[in-house]
Amino acid sequence: MTYFFERHVELVRSGLGRAGAGPGDRRQAMADRIVNMSYDEILKTRVAFGTAPALRDRLGEIAEDLGSPASSPS
């Protein structure tokens, strides 16, 4: 997982200054945020892994955090 985010930062930074790549300051800020994330923060805020019941619970937590009521299983 950490390799994925390291590679993502490389790709974000490689686009800095290229036409059509978006505002450079925004891309740099995104790269800086990702570089400074801990593994625990990545697990908490960027990915979801686990068994079906664990993922259901985690996605329910995310829905609550976003203010959307999680649908209950039928």
pLDDT digits (tens, 9 = 90+) for 54-69: 999 999 988 998 887 6
Buried b (16+ CB within 10 A) or exposed e, 24-60: eeebeeebeeeeebeeeeeeeeeeeeeeeeeeeeeee
pLDDT of residue 60: 92
Predicted model pTM: 0.53
Report the distance separating Cα 36 and Cα 63, nearest Å: 25
pLDDT of residue 1: 84
pLDDT digits (tens, 9 = 90+) for 5-29: 888 888 888 876 666 656 777 878 8
Reply yes or no on whether the pLDDT at 74 is more than 50: no
